[in-house]
Amino acid sequence: MVSRLRSPNADLSVELFEDRHQLGMPITGRVTLMPGESFQMRDGKVEFFCTETYYVRVRRTTRMGSAETNEPAATVVRQYSQTIFEGSDIANLMPQVGNINLTIPTNAPPTVKGVVANLVWTMKVTLDVARARDITREIDLVVLPVPGESADNAQQNPEANTAVSHLAECDMNLSMGALLVRMGESFEGVFRIFPKSGFTPETARVELMRMQKAGTSQIDESVVLLEFDAPEASTGVDGTDAVEFPFSLPVPECLLATITVHETSVLWRVRGSVRFDSRKELEITQMVTVRGSS
């Protein structure tokens, strides 16, 4: 008889047939149970759950006083399950095989792996054993996002793709070829500066920025940086004096596609900045979207 203090003597192996997993695509595999003794199984199931790690502000009080700190917390933001075994009496040395076939929907979050933002998918197989500890196995999975549409095929709207700023020193616009690209592609466009009388631009920068946020913790990082020495302003076709900086910002492959779910967000933007006569830096930004690669 199996003791209530332990799981039955049995080998539980899990085999997944796909090398990569993606939202909206079936995850298939096989679960094999090889019992080393007889026991009663109520049922067996496989679960796929996405766990978010985020941060909360906690005030701690000691003899030295009190202070607030960022401390990690975790919650399951998505969970899906499938029954793979019905209840039965398991005989010693008689193998049992269950099939996995489950699709994580496209509106679920993909795996996110960053410095602050983290969403982890786990597959857990559980055999519910009568009058004893359950038999379980867990495997962490990388679940990729749905591939985005190529920038070459995306709908283009020149007005919507242009950010405009009017300042005392200059007017600026940031004109983007596309606001949505896939990882491995590039954000391309032109950063234009229209200096006003008495102001001469010295240097300009265009950056691809990425902000990760998880609860009360966040980080804003420069992913790609282009720096320019400002040339003489040239007269545009409309008669205005403009300084133009064409740019191309490649998006690296990573597990940080644009996403907002519960306490976690990953947001991308393109930032143009200019400095006049060693004064403060002026900037303009355009929010953009990064999707998964094909």
Q: What is the CATH number of the domain that holds 186?
A: 2.60.40.640
pLDDT digits (tens, 9 = 90+) for 191-237: 999 998 888 888 999 999 999 999 999 999 999 999 998 765 555 44
Q: Which of 144, 176, 191 is where one domain is finished?
A: 144
Cα angle value 95/97/101 (rounded, 5°): 170
Q: Is residue 5 part of a domain?
A: no
Asked if 195 and 170 count as a contact pair (C-beta separation under 8 A), the reply is: yes
Q: Is residue 81 part of a domain?
A: yes
Local confidence band at 65 (pLDDT 50, 70, 90 cut-offs):
confident
Report the C-alpha gap between 193 and 90 in whole angstroms: 75
Q: Which of 98, 114, 144 is where one domain is finished?
A: 144
Q: Which of 85, 115, 144 is where one domain is finished?
A: 144
Residue 113 above 60 pLDDT? yes
CA of residue 284 relative to chain centroid, distance = 25
Same domain, 21 and 113: yes
- pLDDT for 277 equals 76
Same domain, 126 and 225: no
Report the C-alpha gap between 115 and 217 in whole angstroms: 10
Cα angle value 115/120/125 (rounded, 5°): 155
CA of residue 114 relative to chain centroid, distance = 8
Instruction: Kindly report the backbone phi and psi dihedral angles of residue 230, in degrees, each rounded to the nearest multiple of 5, phi listed first.
Output: -70, 125
Same domain, 166 and 198: yes
Mean pLDDT of 68-72: 90
**51, two tokens:** 């766990």
Report the C-alpha gap between 259 and 144 in whole angstroms: 12
Instruction: Kindly report the backbone phi and psi dihedral angles of residue 139, in degrees, each rounded to the nearest multiple of 5, phi listed first.
Output: -135, 130
Q: Is residue 96 part of a domain?
A: yes
Q: Which of 218, 220, 259 is nearest to 111 (CA)?
A: 259
Same domain, 119 and 169: no
Number of domains into which the chain is organized: 2
Q: Is residue 238 part of a domain?
A: yes
Report the C-alpha gap between 74 and 37 in whole angstroms: 37
Q: Is residue 156 part of a domain?
A: no
% of residues, the chain, pLDDT over 90: 76
Residue pointed to by tokens 């606001």: 179
Query: What is the pTM assigned to this prediction?
Result: 0.88
Residue type, 267: L
211, with CB counted inside 10 A (0-12, 13-18, 19+), is middle
Radius of gyration of the chain (CA): 27
Cα angle value 4/8/13 (rounded, 5°): 140
Same domain, 190 and 114: no
Same domain, 137 and 22: yes
Report the C-alpha gap between 159 and 136 in whole angstroms: 55
Which DSSP letter does residue 147 get?
Answer: B
Same domain, 201 and 277: yes
Least confident of 72-81, 156-165, 169-178: 156-165
Same domain, 170 and 286: yes
Same domain, 228 and 280: yes
Asked if 164 and 172 count as a contact pair (C-beta separation under 8 A), the reply is: yes
Q: Is residue 153 part of a domain?
A: no
In which domain, by residue range, is 123 found?
10-144
Q: Is residue 149 part of a domain?
A: no
Q: Is residue 87 part of a domain?
A: yes
Same domain, 132 and 196: no
**1, two tokens:** 């008889």
Same domain, 69 and 186: no
Same domain, 21 and 140: yes
- pLDDT for 239 equals 47
